[in-house]
Amino acid sequence: MKPAKIYASALAADFSRLGEEIKRVEPFVDGVHLDVMDGHFVPNLSFGAPVIKSLRPLTDLHFDTQLMMTNPHEYFADFADAGCEAVSVHIEVYPDPTEVAAMAREQGLRFGLALNPPTPADAIAPYMALCDHILVMTVHPGFGGQSFLESVLPKIEKVRERVDSNDLGADVQVDGGITATTAPLARSAGAEAFVVGTALFRAENPVDAAKAIREALN
Ligand code: DX5
């Protein structure tokens, strides 16, 4: 398995000081996770490409964007222009994501497939080779601050096993309820990238929180 990566989820930061919040944890994380929500695929709205673009000059961190949208492919050019390196789209939106993966690559974006908790690993099995990363949601998407669903651990194991047995390079990513306690459970199941929102930005000291999660993962 690759070394663990921590992605700070902007959704849990204070939006009035988003740049400052990201700069504070920058030396202690490996990327920024950006949750774009459209009010259709999930019952919530967050932010879009203009907000992401405003953050781009502030940091060289990897921008990993999860598109909780029913029509994300229509915005790939905007997200590429905003400085995103990677996008995830949901397999629930594109049961055959072959074409959408090609569209993301045409824009120079790294591509990933996300799976909601009820969606089985089998749904992405034929398409794993298209992916730079596979995002296994460990909460139902739409809101930060939810509890990690341990019932998803066997699916993380299954995805890990298929990545390895097929010699695929995709990172196995987890998102939702990740803390210093739950991150090691997901790590043992085979995750490499950990999206952390509440446990980082809502902690009394986000720098100490990032260090504690890193330590728990090592
Ligand atoms: C759900 C979001 C959250 C978020 C992480 O749609 O994707 O999982 O980024 O937030 P916490 O760490 O609060 O679960």
First and final CA of the chain: distance in angstroms? 12
Q: How many domains does the chain have?
A: 1
Task: For ligand 1, pick from 66, 139, 179 the residue to mutate: most ligand atoms within 8 Å of CB.
Answer: 139
Q: In sequence order, what are the residues at sequence separation of 6 or more whose Cβ sits closer than 8 angstroms to the Cβ of residue 82?
A: 49, 50, 52, 53, 56, 63
Q: Is 133 helix (H, G, I), strand (E, B) or coil?
A: strand
Say what the pLDDT of residue 1 is. 84
Name the closest-CA residue to atom 2, ligand 1. 144
Ligand 1 pocket test: which of 32, 40, 175, 182 has the largest number of ligand atoms within 8 Å of its C-beta?
175
Condensed to tens digits (0 to 9), the pLDDT of residues 16-39 reads: 999 999 999 999 999 999 999 999
Q: Does the annotation count 96 as an active-site position?
A: no
**Which of ligand 1's atoms lies nearest the C-alpha of 66?**
7
Task: Please tell me the predicted confidence (pLDDT) of residue 165.
Answer: 97
Task: Please give the pLDDT value at position 70.
Answer: 98
The two structure tokens encoding residue 26 = 């920058």
Q: How does the average pLDDT of the chain come out, rounded?
A: 98
Atom of ligand 1 nearest to the CA of 141: 6
Spatial CB neighbours of 115, under 8 Å, sequence gap ≥ 6: 90, 91, 92, 121, 123, 124, 134, 135, 136, 137, 155
The tens place of each residue's pLDDT in the chain, 218 residues long, gives 899 999 999 999 999 999 999 999 999 999 999 999 999 999 999 999 999 999 999 999 999 999 999 999 999 999 999 999 999 999 999 999 999 999 999 999 999 999 999 999 999 999 999 999 999 999 999 999 999 999 999 999 999 999 999 999 999 999 999 999 999 999 999 999 999 999 999 999 999 999 999 999 99
Residue among 150, 105, 145, 111 at smallest CA distance from 128: 111
Going by alpha carbons, the residue nearest to atom 3 of ligand 1 is: 144
Residue 98, strand partner residues? none
**Interatomic CA distance for residues 71 and 156, integer angstroms:** 26
Q: Is residue 170 a contact partner of residue 205, using CB atoms and an 8 Å limit?
A: no
Residue 173's contacts (CB-CB under 8 Å, 6 or more residues apart) are 7, 64, 88, 112, 133, 134, 135, 136, 191, 192, 193, 194, 195
Range of the domain at 81: 5-217
For residue 175, indicate whether it is catalytic. Answer: yes
HSE value, Cβ hemisphere, 13 Å, CA-based, for 95: 0
Residue 186: name the closest of 148, 212, 214, 215 by CA. 148
Digit-coded pLDDT (tens) for 117-127: 999 999 999 99
List 35, 64, 132, 171, catalytic entry: 35
CATH code assigned at 83: 3.20.20.70
CA of 199 to the centre of ligand 1 (A): 10
